[in-house]
Amino acid sequence: MSTVTERFLKYIKFDTMSSEEDTVPITLGQIEFAKVLVEELKTINMEDISLDKNGYVIANLPANTKKIIPALGFIAHLDTSPDMSGQGVNPQIIEDYNGLDIKLHKEKNIILSPKDFPELLNYKGKTLITTDGTTLLGADDKAGIAEIMTAMEYLKNHPEVLHGKICIAFTPNEEVGRGADHFNIERFGADFAYTIDGGPLGELEYENFNAAGAKVNIQGRNIHPGSAKGKMINAILLAQEYVDQLPKGETPAETEGYEGFYHLTEIHGEVENAVLRYIIRDFDFTSFEKRKEQMQKIADNLNDKYGNGAFNVEIKDQYFNMKEKIEPVKHIVDTAAKAMEAVGVVPDIRPIRGGTDGARLSYMGLPTPNIFTGGHNFHGKYEFIPTYAMAKAVEVILKIIEMYSSDEIGRSRSNALLKERPGF
């Protein structure tokens, strides 16, 4: 039986960077990786395996008991972030970590240090997998895939472990917000699911931001600067004025916990035209709506000042806080927390300052909280993961399955499903 570490080291060799371009339905690397996973699923004798035209891998492990048990789902994503290259990943394995600086790249003097990342000290004596300082590692989310695959192989090789139907899926394009676009929930077949896509050991998340994207188009008027007095309207300066009117201190760099923000992600322009792009985030839906209203109000006030049409704001909702859809079936969070405790992991229940496939899936009818992979510093060259944490993630997956198969949890939750599901 392959270990979770062996799988992970094999998987990160695939360059599965996703693309921000809407015209790219799925990158070639993701398809190649998906095909390899399909073959591996066949070797461990999973059933009903498929890879569809959109790049979704789905398979299941049929129930091996006549008990009525909820169908559980486990989901991870194929792609890595476009923020940094995932090509030619050359992992370093640091055994028995001593708590000192780790030189990722000697020539470039790139150092993974507990001075900058004090969480490293939590893993003294453990084995770490790091980058070589030139790429990301890919634990987000190839660690999640490795953990799910290892748990499924264990169940297939240990038929004495009773379980209900287990459904797994590996999705494309999660990192660019399109992971749930073509997810077929009916085909998947689970009553509820977990994304294995979180960070450090113990993370358990069922709250995430409400999210929107905003584009502010600014129309100026270009006149020769020698005769521009009273005539020129510099769109770049108007853009600066718009930025200055948003609340101070409500940016990602100045917020934490449940605090929301406006995040200016792009600015470009000339005297005649300028464009600002923002993402808007807030956990509270009422505050989220007020943030969108604030962006429009600023534009309206500036249009009164400079003339109607100088500012045009386009706002598009992206996803919503899954808490609303998960609270009616909160047992899926409580069971995951108890499973962690049972295998010696302290649950760290916290809001996601971002989003996962689970956020959209929850609103599509599949309540899906998020569980840790064990990784740190995703999307960059300082990414690392302890092998210990990956092994614990496998144990948590197996313990959740075991707990739902027990008489105490399985029967009560199965009986409640028909009452809970209509709320979605």
Averaged pLDDT, 247-256: 95
> DSSP characters for 66-123?
SS--PPEEEEEES-B-TTS--TT---EEE-S--SS-EEEETTTTEEE-TTT-GGGGGG
Residue 141 near residue 196, CB atoms below 8 Å: yes
Q: What are phi and psi of 198, to 5 degrees?
A: -90, -175
For the chain, what are the domain ranges? 4-207+322-423, 210-318
Residue 121, CB-side half-sphere exposure with 13 Å CA sphere:
5
What are 334-345's pLDDT values in tens digits?
999 999 999 999
The DSSP symbol for 184 reads -
What are 130-171's pLDDT values in tens digits?
999 999 999 999 999 999 999 999 999 999 999 999 999 999
Structure tokens at 172: 């494309």
Residues ≥6 apart with Cβ < 8 Å to 86: 12, 15, 16, 17, 80, 135, 136, 138
Smallest CA-to-CA distance from 26 within 36, 16, 35 is with: 16
Residues ≥6 apart with Cβ < 8 Å to 310: 218, 219, 220, 233, 238, 302, 303
Smallest CA-to-CA distance from 210 within 292, 275, 308, 150 is with: 292
- pLDDT given at position 22: 80
- pLDDT given at position 23: 78
Catalytic residues: 79, 174
Residue 395 near residue 343, CB atoms below 8 Å: yes
| pLDDT > 60? residue 418 | no
Task: Report the CATH fold assignment for 4-207+322-423.
Answer: Aminopeptidase (3.40.630)
| pLDDT > 70? residue 421 | no
Q: How confident is the model at residue 420 (pLDDT cuts 50, 70, 90)?
A: very low
Smallest CA-to-CA distance from 7 within 43, 48, 37 is with: 37
- pLDDT given at position 163: 96
- Percent of all residues in the chain with a pLDDT value above 70, rounded to a whole number: 95
What are 357-372's pLDDT values in tens digits?
899 999 999 999 999 9
What mean pLDDT is reported for the chain? Answer: 93
- CA-CA distance, 170 to 150, in Å (whole number)? 14
- CA-CA distance, 60 to 320, in Å (whole number)? 28
Averaged pLDDT, 256-263: 96
pTM of the model: 0.87
Task: Report the CATH fold assignment for 210-318.
Answer: Alpha-Beta Plaits (3.30.70)
| pLDDT > 70? residue 376 | yes
Q: Is 207 helix (H, G, I), strand (E, B) or coil?
A: coil
- CA-CA distance, 252 to 249, in Å (whole number)? 9
The alpha-helical segments, DSSP class H, found in 60-184 are: 139-157
Averaged pLDDT, 275-295: 97
Residue 17 carries which side chain, given as an amino acid letter? M
Q: How confident is the model at residue 407 (pLDDT cuts 50, 70, 90)?
A: low
Cis bond before residue 357 (omega within 30° of 0): no
